[in-house]
Structure 1
C-alpha cells in the first residue's frame, strides 16, 4: 500500500508531520462498492480522506424522493468537512462507487489535536477553507451558466465577528484602509489578482461573472452584497485570481485589509489564524448551502411564511454556537463603524 503522504499529496497546507499524525491516529477502512460513509441528515462522527477509490456525493431534491449526484470524489479528496466545521448534520449522502480505501479521523480526536497544537489547527482550517472555496467557485459557475440568481444573503460579517475577538477586530480597524468607492468602481476584477479583503461598511456591491455565450462575452450579475458583507475571501484562501468581478452599484464605503498584512498576521498569531479561517470557512459553507438550495436541492430548507418545526434542522439555519454570538457580533460591527467614522 502506498504511503499516506503520497496518497494525500494534493493537500497544500498541511505539513508531512501533520499527515503522518493523521495516518497513525486515523482508522484505515477497506470498503466495498455501495458502502454508505455519510447519510444525509444523520450524525457523523468522522472526517474522511480518500486514499484509493471513488465516492459519489448525493443530495435530496425538494419535493422529490430521489437523490441527485452532485459530485464524485477520488484519491486525495476530503469529505465530511462541512459538518465538522459548522457542527450541523450532513447535507449530503456519500457512498463508494467502487472498492475504496478510506482514512477516517474522529472529529473528537481532531478537535483535541487542534486544542493541543494551535499550529496544526491553523493549517487544518486553512486547508479546509481552500477546499470549500474551490467547491464554491464550481457551484457559482454552475449557477451562472444555468441562470440561477441567489437570493438575499445573510450578512457574513456576523459569522466573522461572532468568532473573532475584540483584539482581532481592533487590529483590522488599525491596519486596514478606509476607502470611499464611487458608483462604478471595480474593487475586484475577474481573473485578476486580488489585493485585499474588503468589508462593506456602507453601500451596495454587484457580483458579476463574465462568460462566453454563443461565442460572445456576456456579463451576468450573480448577487448583490449589502452593508456587512465580505468580498475577496475566496481569492485570499486559495491564493488565486478572482472568480468574479465586484463593482460598486452605488457610492460605497469599504474597509480594505491588504492580503500581505493579513498573511503576516496569520503567521505571527496562530490563535487569530484559527479564528479567522474557521470564520471564513463558515461563510463559504453558508454560501455553498445557499447555492444548493437555489438549485432545488435539500428538502429541509426554510421558506418565507413557513411555520418552523421544532424537530427539524433546516439546511439554512445558522449554527447554534454562531447564532448565540450574533448579538455580540452586531455590537462589534457597530463599534467598528463608529470608530472608522470618528464617532
Structure 2
C-alpha cells in the first residue's frame, strides 16, 4: 500500500485539538520500515474501535477517516475529548504501559488505520533501534501535548 505521507504534514488535517503529528517529516524509508510491522484495520462510521477498560497493547495510526475519543462516566453518559484525523495516533498509553484503555475511540466516518502491536514494535526495535527511539520520542511528544490539553479541562 502506498501511504500518502502528506496527511502527516498537512496542517489542514488538524483542528485545534490535534496539533501533534506522529512521525512528522520522517523519510519514506522510515515509514516503510514501520508499516512493514503493522496490520491494516478498516473501520466504519459508528464502530467502537477501542473500548475503555479493555486490554490491548497496540498503537494505532489513522490513515484516513475521522474518529473521536470518548470518555464514558459511571452513569453511562459520554464526553467527547477529542477528534482524530489522518496523521494522528491513539492508544499510546496502553501501548507503553500495558494497562487497560483509558477511553473509547468511536469512528465518525469510514476509514483506515494501521495497528502496531507491542511485539511488532519490539521486532522493529531490534532491527532499527534509531527508528524505534524516534517513534518513542514522538509518542512522548503526543502524550505531553495531550496532557497539557487535559490540564485545561481541570482549571
Q: TM-score, normalised by structure 1?
A: 0.38
Q: Compute the displacement of 1:192 (Å).
A: 0.7
- Indicate the SS of the match to 2:73: strand
Aligned counterpart for 1:154 among listed residues 4, 15, 19: 19
Structure 2 unaligned segments of length 5 or more: list them. Answer: 1-15
Q: Find the partner of 1:217 among 76, 79, 86.
A: 76
Match of 1:239 in 2: 98
Q: What is the alpha-carbon distance in structure 2 between the residues aligned to residue 236 and residue 176 of structure 1? A: 14
What are the ranges of 5 or more consecutive residues in structure 1 without an aligned counterpart?
A: 1-150, 297-343
* 1:150-299 superposed matches below 5 A: 152-157=17-22, 160-162=23-25, 164-212=26-74, 216-296=75-155
> Higher RCO, 1 or 2 (CA under 8 Å, sep at least 6)?
2
Moved more, 267-276 or 186-195: 267-276
**Native 8 Å contact 1:155 1:226 kept in 2:** no
Judged with a 3 Å threshold, the aligned counterparts in structure 2 of structure 1 residues 199 and 290 are, in CA distance, closer, same or farther, namely same
Offset, 1:282: 0.9
Q: Residue 206 of structure 1: CA displacement?
A: 1.2
- SS of residue matched to 1:175: coil
In the aligned structure 1, how far is the partner of 2:34 from the partner of 2:135?
Answer: 12
Cα deviation for residue 231 of structure 1 reads: 0.8
Which secondary structure does the structure 1 equivalent of 2:76 belong to? strand
Report the secondary structure of 2:36's partner residue: helix
In the alignment, the residues of structure 2 paired with residue 289 and residue 208 of structure 1 have an alpha-carbon distance, to the nearest angstrom, of 18
Q: Given the superposition, is the C-alpha separation of residues 198 and 245 from structure 1 closer, same or farther in structure 2, using an over 3 Å criterion? A: same
Shift of 1:234: 1.1
Structure 1 position 204, deviation (Å) = 0.9
Higher Cα Rg, which structure = 1
Structure 1 stretches of at least 4 aligned residues deviating more than 4 Å after TM superposition: none
Question: Could you tell me the TM-score, scaled by structure 2's length?
Answer: 0.78
Q: List per-residue Cα deviations over 1:28-70 (Å, max 9, x = no partner).
A: xxxxxxxxxxxxxxxxxxxxxxxxxxxxxxxxxxxxxxxxxxx
Aligned pairs, number: 141
Distance in 2 of aligned mates of 1:172 and 1:265:
7
Indicate if the aligned counterparts of 2:70 and 2:78 stay in contact, CA closer than 8 A. Answer: yes
Q: Please state how far the C-alpha of 1:283 moved relative to its aligned partner.
A: 1.0
